[in-house]
């Protein structure tokens, strides 16, 4: 494996009241690698993603321990200026709900331009750059559509616009926090294919956060399974899927209904059996 | 099997306004000549992408949207022409469960008020203490605890909220429940719990379901019969096994290909 782009060491995140959302986790993401973090809601996967660039509001998040090394630089101790240079520019995000992540009163083009102006002041022809990223994510007729407002886009197109915005800064690492949960299956497949294609084209790393093992299988090189703030299993995707070691991983894979394998009842997770 | 509900040539058109005077310039055919039946005790799945008109069909049955043409018959009686008071008894017999458990519960109401509201309308003779006992029963039926009765929606997780939504639908002892994407906003693990709950309730109470979803794997698991909807029209229908093993329409194939497989 090549040198790690992101190296998280012993990360612990505690909230006011002593709730440990993330408990001593370590993982790394190499350059050009796609890593998936899988877990149910409440497992601490989104909190981990937000903590990477210190996006967690403090308070209520307090007592963050450990180290987050991005290119050997600890982001947890970096000053505001340094972290701002990383946010968006080096590590970009796309979130679950595209309709709430976009500002409804500005056009799509304006919102992408904002990101370009801030992070890439060297770009002269901003309009051409917006058209380029919009066509990169498969929006037809980008020269016209950039004048549209978010409500004129469908859910899938809004998510494409979010990805375009993230790509406009040419990030090294894209953190995709449940990017397809709010979308239909067909659109979900399109977005995952798009991410795959973009990853190949631009050689960026992707950290995919999801609760659904189904979308992980064709996408990620490695999987990290989180349960109650801890990493319970980690390994190459196909290995984990075929031969899960931890009972929680097994349960999480089993509860997904599969086409053509009709069961009397769906398997649910018996938490008492997971220690 | 006796059909409980028969939908024939249902049309729902929405007007498109345009021009200076906001005249009707065009129509969106959300549902176009759709016909199907649901037998008593059956589960019929309605599958399609967003925008295919599947939710509109569900809403038109309970008159949450006006229909532009066609007929809906329930238990041998034409209900699509009934209005106001005449339709009220059918609102008791037909209930709905919604997709988003965050937006479909009023945040300012307690669980008692949420589940009690349909009881106040459809079971007027019930006294307040009786109602409270009934709500506690319903909570236990859907796998929640009696103690949850005085809590507010924000105190529950997504899966628990969906259970409250189901309890509210069951409160008036309906025969027919329209489930509009009841699990697509939930985690896969919670989704399995809710799907199992819906199956248990069907067996226990003899319910009939119209199950609206874009997730074909869930539909295959739950439904006796499947209708595939595209741009307001039914493009394919049949047994789930038959549809999944040999899809005839290219749109069905596209939907099937999109389902992530492990």
Beta-carbon separation of B220 and A262 below 8 A: yes
Q: What is the pLDDT of residue A1?
A: 47
Residue closest to A37 by CA, chosen among A227, A263, A187: A227
Query: Which residues 165-204 of A are in CB contact (within 8 Å) with B?
Result: 184-189, 192
Q: Where are any strands of DSSP class E within chain A?
A: 4-15, 19-30, 34-38, 61-70, 73-74, 91-94, 173-177, 205-210, 222-227, 230-236
- ipTM value, please give it: 0.76
Task: Check CB contact of B143 with chain A, cutoff 8 Å.
Answer: no
Neighbours of B16 (CB within 10 A): 11
What sign has the CA pseudo-torsion B159, B161, B162, B167?
A: positive
Q: What is the pLDDT of residue A2?
A: 55
Segments of chain A scoring below 50 in pLDDT: 1
Q: What is the pLDDT of residue B238?
A: 93
* pLDDT per position as a tens digit, B86-100: 999 999 999 999 888
Task: Assign B69 a pLDDT band (cuts: 50, 70, 90).
Answer: very high
Q: What is the pLDDT of residue B106?
A: 93
* pLDDT per position as a tens digit, B184-211: 878 888 888 899 999 999 999 999 999 9
Q: What is the pLDDT of residue A226?
A: 92
In the predicted structure, residue B262 carries a pLDDT above the cut 80: no
Beta-carbon separation of B189 and A215 below 8 A: no
Residue closest to A179 by CA, chosen among A215, A205, A150, A151: A215
Nearest CA in chain A to B48: A184
Query: Which residues 207-246 of A are in CB contact (within 8 Å) with B?
Result: 211-215, 217-218, 241
The whole-angstrom distance between B188's CA and the closest CA on chain A is 6
Q: Give chain A positions within 8 Å (CB) of B256.
A: 259
Nearest CA in chain B to A42: B157
Q: Which of B196, B217, B257 sits opposite A258 (nearest CB)?
A: B217
* pLDDT per position as a tens digit, B37-57: 999 999 999 998 877 888 899
Q: What is the pLDDT of residue B100?
A: 81
CA-CA distance, A109 to A111, in Å (whole number)?
A: 5
Residues contacting residue B232 through CB under 8 Å, at least 6 positions apart: B12, B29, B30, B31, B32, B34, B52, B53
Q: What is the pLDDT of residue B114?
A: 95
Q: Which of B51, B189, B195 sits opposite A269 (nearest CB)?
A: B189
Question: What does DSSP assign to residue A92?
Answer: E
* B134, burial (CB in 10 Å: exposed 0-12, middle 13-18, buried 19+): middle
* pLDDT per position as a tens digit, B110-141: 999 999 999 999 999 999 999 999 999 999 99
């Amino acid at each position: 494996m090549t040198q790690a782009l992101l190296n998280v060491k012993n990360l612990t995140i505690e909230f006011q009241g002593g709730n440990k959302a993330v408990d001593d986790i370590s993982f790394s993401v190499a350059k050009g690698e796609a890593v998936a973090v899988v877990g149910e809601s409440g497992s601490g996967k989104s909190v981990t993603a937000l903590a990477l660039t210190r996006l967690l509001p403090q308070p209520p998040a307090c007592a963050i321990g450990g180290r987050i090394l991005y290119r050997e630089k600890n982001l947890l101790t970096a000053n505001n200026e340094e972290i701002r240079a990383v946010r968006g520019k080096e590590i970009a995000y796309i979130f679950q709900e595209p309709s709430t992540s976009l500002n409804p009163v500005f056009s799509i083009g304006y919102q992408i331009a904002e990101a370009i102006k801030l992070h890439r002041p060297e770009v002269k022809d901003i309009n051409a750059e917006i058209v380029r990223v919009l066509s990169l994510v498969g929006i037809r007729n980008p020269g016209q559509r950039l004048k549209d407002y978010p409500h004129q886009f469908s859910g899938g197109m809004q998510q494409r616009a979010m990805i375009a915005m993230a790509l406009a800064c040419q990030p090294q690492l894209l953190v995709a926090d449940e990017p397809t949960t709010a979308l239909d299956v067909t659109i979900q497949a399109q977005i995952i294919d798009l991410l795959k294609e973009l990853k190949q084209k631009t050689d960026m790393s992707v950290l995919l956060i999801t609760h659904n093992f189904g979308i992980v299988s064709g996408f990620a090189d490695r999987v990290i399974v989180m349960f109650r703030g801890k990493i319970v299993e980690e390994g190459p995707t196909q290995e984990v899927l075929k031969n899960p070691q931890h009972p929680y991983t097994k349960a999480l894979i089993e509860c997904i209904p599969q086409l053509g394998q009709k069961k009397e009842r769906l398997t649910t997770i018996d938490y008492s059996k997971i220690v | 099997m006796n059909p409980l509900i028969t939908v024939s040539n249902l049309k729902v058109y929405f007007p498109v306004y345009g021009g200076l005077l906001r005249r009707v310039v065009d129509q969106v055919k959300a549902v176009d000549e759709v016909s199907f039946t649901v037998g008593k005790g059956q589960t019929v799945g309605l599958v399609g992408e967003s925008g295919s008109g599947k939710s509109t069909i569900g809403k038109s049955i309970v008159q949450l949207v006006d229909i532009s043409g066609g007929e809906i018959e329930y238990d041998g009686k034409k209900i699509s022409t009934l209005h106001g008071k005449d339709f009220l008894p059918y609102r008791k017999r037909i209930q709905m469960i919604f997709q988003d458990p965050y937006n479909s519960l009023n945040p300012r109401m307690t669980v008692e008020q949420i589940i009690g509201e349909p009881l106040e309308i459809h079971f007027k003779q019930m006294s307040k203490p009786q109602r409270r006992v009934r709500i506690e029963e319903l909570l236990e039926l859907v796998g929640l605890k009696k103690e949850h009765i005085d809590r507010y929606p924000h105190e529950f997780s997504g899966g628990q909220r969906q259970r409250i939504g189901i309890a509210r639908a069951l409160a008036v002892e309906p025969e027919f429940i329209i489930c509009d994407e009841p699990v697509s906003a939930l985690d896969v693990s919670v989704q399995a719990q809710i799907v199992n709950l819906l199956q248990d309730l069907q067996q226990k109470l003899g319910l009939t379901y119209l199950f609206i979803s874009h997730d074909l794997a869930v539909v295959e698991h739950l439904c006796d019969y499947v209708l595939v909807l595209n741009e307001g029209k039914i493009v394919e229908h049949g047994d789930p096994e038959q549809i999944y093993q040999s899809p005839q329409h290219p749109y069905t194939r596209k939907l099937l290909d999109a389902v992530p497989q492990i």
